[in-house]
Amino acid sequence: MASSNTSLDSRALLSEGNDHSHDQEEEEGRWWKNVLDLEEAKNQVWFSLPMILTNVCYYSITLVSVMFAGHVGELELAGTTLANSWATVTGFAFMIGLSGALETLCGQGFGAKIYRKLGIYLQASCIISFCFAVIISILWFYTEPILILLQQDAQISKTAASYITYLIPGLFAYGFVQNILRFLQTQSILMPLVWFSVIPLGLHLGIVYSLVNWTDHRFKGASLVASISLWISLLLLAFYVFLAKKFEQTWQGLSFESFHYILDNLKLALPSAAMVCLEYWAFELLVLLAGLMPNSEVTTSLIAMCVNTEAIAYMITYGLSAAASTRVSNELGAGNPIRAKNAMVVTLKLSVLLALAVVLILAFGHNVWAGFFSKSSEIIHKFASMTPLLLISITIDSFQGVLSGFMDRLNMLSFLPSRLVSVNGFPMDDLINKLPGQPDVNFRQFSGYIDVDQKAGRSLFYYFVEAEKDPMNLPLTIWLTGGPGCSSVGDAFLGVGPFIANANAHGLKRNPLSWIRESNLLFIDSPIGSGWSYSNTSSDYQVGDDSTNKDLLTFIFQWLEKYPNFKSRDLYLGGSSFAGHFIPNFAKGLLDYNNQSSTFKFNIKGLILGNPVLRYKLDTLATYEFLRSRGMINNEMHQAIVKECNGVDEGNYSDSAMIQWSKSCVEAMAKAELAAFNVTSVGLAMARHFDVYRETCDQNWTVLESGNELTKVRHGVDMCIPLRGDFYFNIPEVQKAFRGNRTNLGYQWQGCFDGLNFSSTDKNRDMLPVLKQILQQSIPITIMSGDQDAIVPIVGTLNHVQKLAEEMNLKLTKNEGWKNGKKDGAGWMYSYGDLLTFMTVKGANHHVTFSKPSKAFFIFKNIVLNPSIKIAIADKVV
């Protein structure tokens, strides 16, 4: 090795000299990658090895009893081997098969992060196992007449019946053990399984040796100890699950809810049991057939030894099969079908290698192995003669076993009810595997269309992101944006959602202040024409409040059919700008439904509105009051606007009030615009309303198209983030990943659609009566406004809030400054009891979530989700 002070030049020479050898090593190592994915193989070996050891140990508990009983005499060997085969055929194999349902249910549930359901599925499976164990126990009580009916030797049948009677308690334990093993296996809990199987096996060896050699209960004792050892293992596993903190999410105690899943479990368990039993029966029936041959004591023992030997070898295959099943289920649950396929291929290759190792060991050590079963030289000699056929069978069975395990999982999917096909309420067809340039994350994203009117060809596009942690218990927040005609999905990438376009707009970076830290998020492109939402009927693009709300209501009911787990979830509704119309109307529609429904009801917990349009005409007039207060226009200009644009105020506002401004009013506004922003056109001035202090980003796509970075940071805000988001959404690979642009039309994706014809009457609609109806049903409303927004300025919104509070006789309980943690003053809070809160956000523009994401997140977390602590926050006076 070179010394640590090797010069840079010498390192360069060494590196250059080693290039050729490195290339050779890479070429030589490349064929290994073509033969076997070493990383996947290593993971599967480490995963399956504990399962193999566990399976061998549990199988050995009953097999060791057979071995010890077999040394008592040839009749006892024949009886115990026949009993063990009969118990396997009718009981143990069936229990293994029943537990196979958990590989699919718990495997996909864990992959889908629906942790609580794992414990429910386990309980349902244990109930099923118990019921079938009772039925099988009754069958075992009649073992002797059944075996005689099957033409078995009378003495051997009697011996077998005596032996199997003491295995009945062990059958119940075995069924429960198999269920817990699947429960733990699907969570990748490995080493504890080994210890909880090795310990009972070690105890079993000592106890059975003592009973067989030192007591009069030599034969029956071997069987009884097998049952005792299985119960010891069950108790160890049960206490582990009950007491270990790692299972706090997956095991939450006994629940009657498990009875609701018995039928779903049975639909998977019975086909699985049938497939496993057929595999075992194909071999174990040979033992019954051997009993029909001459010298049945020898033939039965000999065939049973071969079957048990193959079963031990099969444990290796079964361990790999379990690894494949779990890996495939987890990858499918996480929406990675390509990785699932690769895992299966690697398992098949490993099975061949391990089968070869078993064959070599048995080929050279068959006499030693046979001696464990019997001291009879005749049996040992005849077992040796059958070894070549046994080796061939083991080789073929190892390959078939893995394929069978894989096919079990695929066949089970055909029996899954629709809510399980979609992975417990998450539609796999809508799962986003990964967005282009997206960093790795531990949460899932979904997107797709909901057809709100199939006849008209009208569909709304959505983007759903599950909460970063504990998504099955956190609330659902629906977020809309304004325009009207702007994309809520695009808005998700401006501060609320999990990502923001990076500096060159060809990839994404994590948003550390995303609301997924506290809630699941659903973004809906609404109304029609926004983002990727579309209609095949041209008249649908003439929209208004009512048509938009009708589509949203249709959407949410259909969406909940896809995501049924969210039907009873706490629901928050939020949005910005013209969503000040969409969200209140939507909330009122849901509340109206609640009032009429006697069954399902939406669990609305609150609304959050950012710079909302509530009284459009007054919001427009407030723009110039805001500009005057900031010294951007003089008093004369403001008074001219008041004079020329009079006729409407907070007291006489109506939906039809002054649909059009007068010519003199428009001229007064234009003069003020040019003066306020020192520009040459009203259009340029209006563009600055979004943020009166920060310059907008240059609309220069060529910079991004060439792969260069485009940023413009002003007062801590990168004003180019929206433009980069627009560019990112127009990348073909991005649209493909989202499954957006379903119509495959060649139009450009727009953050705000300019071809929407929104009703001017609805644009002027007064939203205070709607907010009033929502508040009357005790639904809290939080409004946040950026103090640098001239589109919907704080002065106008505050007037609306005060008017609303006055009409509802709400008393102002807090009029204080608020802080974002220990930082400087973040704004001002006006609190009207626990129902209505208005918060100004210092330094924020028209989009608080974009310009001040930390403050927006603080409000969402501490005011909206936890309204009871708002008083404590407000006490931090600035």
774-818 pLDDT, tens digit each: 999 999 999 999 999 989 999 999 999 999 999 999 999 988 888
| pLDDT, greater one: 705 or 436 | 436
In the predicted structure, residue 523 carries a pLDDT above the cut 90: yes
* pLDDT, tens digit, 9 for 90 and up, residues 328-344: 666 655 555 666 677 77
Euclidean distance between CA atoms 476 and 571, whole angstroms: 5
Count of beta carbons in the 10 Å neighbourhood of residue 294: 6
What sign for the dihedral angle of Cα 347, 350, 354, 359?
A: positive
Give the per-residue pLDDT at 46: 75
217 burial class (0-12, 13-18, 19+ CB within 10 angstroms)?
A: middle
Looking at 65, 85, 99, 577, which residue is catalytic?
577
- Contact by Cβ (8 Å): 525, 533: yes
Give the per-residue pLDDT at 603: 92
Lowest mean pLDDT among 51-55, 658-662, 717-721: 658-662
Euclidean distance between CA atoms 691 and 791, whole angstroms: 9
Euclidean distance between CA atoms 668 and 653, whole angstroms: 21
In this structure, what are the phi and psi dihedrals at residue 716, rounded to the nearest 5 degrees? 80, 5
> Is-catalytic flag, 506?
no
Give the per-residue pLDDT at 7: 34
- Contact by Cβ (8 Å): 529, 541: yes
- Mean pLDDT (the chain) is 80
Euclidean distance between CA atoms 100 and 409, whole angstroms: 9
* pLDDT, tens digit, 9 for 90 and up, residues 98-143: 888 887 777 766 755 667 788 888 999 999 999 999 999 999 999 8
Lowest mean pLDDT among 203-212, 319-328, 680-689: 319-328
Euclidean distance between CA atoms 613 and 646, whole angstroms: 20
Measure CA of the first residue to CA of the last residue in the chain; give whole Å. 63
Q: What is the mean pLDDT of residues 624-649?
A: 86
Euclidean distance between CA atoms 478 and 339, whole angstroms: 32
Give the per-residue pLDDT at 420: 40
Euclidean distance between CA atoms 815 and 838, whole angstroms: 10
Looking at 321, 638, 789, 847, which residue is catalytic?
789
Q: What is the mean pLDDT of residues 27-48?
A: 63
Q: Give domain limits for the chain.
A: 38-421, 426-815
Count of beta carbons in the 10 Å neighbourhood of residue 769: 13
In this structure, what are the phi and psi dihedrals at residue 478, rounded to the nearest 5 degrees? -100, 130
In the predicted structure, residue 189 carries a pLDDT above the cut 70: yes
Euclidean distance between CA atoms 135 and 349, whole angstroms: 40
In the predicted structure, residue 291 carries a pLDDT above the cut 70: no
In the predicted structure, residue 354 carries a pLDDT above the cut 70: yes
Give the per-residue pLDDT at 399: 64
pLDDT band at 635 (very low <50, low <70, confident <90, very high): very high
pLDDT band at 365 (very low <50, low <70, confident <90, very high): confident
Euclidean distance between CA atoms 652 and 511, whole angstroms: 44
The CATH superfamily holding the domain 426-815 is Alpha/Beta hydrolase fold, catalytic domain (3.40.50.1820)
Give the per-residue pLDDT at 375: 64
CA distances from 183 to 193, 630, 733 (A): 11, 64, 39
Tracing tokens 């006076």 back to the chain, one arrives at 877
- Contact by Cβ (8 Å): 863, 870: yes
Question: What is the CB-side half-sphere exposure of residue 88 using CA atoms within 13 A?
Answer: 29
> Is-catalytic flag, 129?
no
Give the best-scoring range by mean pLDDT among 384-388, 688-692, 792-796, 860-864.
Answer: 792-796
Looking at 506, 689, 846, 847, which residue is catalytic?
846
In the predicted structure, residue 195 carries a pLDDT above the cut 60: yes
Give the per-residue pLDDT at 571: 94
Burial 314-324 (b: 16+ CB within 10 A, else e): bbbbbbbbbbb
Give the per-residue pLDDT at 400: 65
In the predicted structure, residue 229 carries a pLDDT above the cut 50: yes
Give the per-residue pLDDT at 1: 39
In the predicted structure, residue 324 carries a pLDDT above the cut 70: no
> Is-catalytic flag, 577?
yes
